[in-house]
Structure 1
Amino acid sequence: MFALVAALLFVLALIFEIADVAVGGVLTVTTLALAGLVCVALHLMGLGAGWRPLRK
């Protein structure tokens, strides 16, 4: 799930960079790229991969 979110954030950052869109001081290309990298890191840690019940 985090990989999909990261891909969407990277696509948005690319579109903003190509179209030279400015959405304010908070939402920039750098912010979107860093949020995408955080999602990739969480995906590589194994978070969001699925839920499995614990066996007892």
Structure 2
Amino acid sequence: MFAIAAAVVFGFALLLDLLSTDFGAPDLFNWNTLVLIGLLLVALHLGGAGAGGRRWSRRGRR
């Protein structure tokens, strides 16, 4: 899930860079901030966050 969100953020950052615009909010929608958010989401994805808990069965425990 985090990888999909990171792809969306990176795509949005690419559009901002290609269009050279900040949508009237230069502090919120600048290229560097979006890249950092995307990298954070990729790091969370690679770290296993949001993968769900492990389910143990009674047979699996001893």
Q: TM-score range by the shorter chain?
A: 0.7 to 0.9
Structure 1 partner of 2:28: 26
Structure 1 partner of 2:40: 38
* Identical-residue share of aligned pairs (%): 38
CA RMSD of superposed structures (Å): 1.5
Cα deviation for residue 54 of structure 1 reads 3.2
Larger radius of gyration: 2
Cα deviation for residue 26 of structure 1 reads 2.1
Q: How many residues in Structure 1 have an aligned counterpart in Structure 2?
A: 55
Q: Could you state the TM-score of these two structures normalised by the residue count of structure 2?
A: 0.77
Gaps of 5+ in 1: none
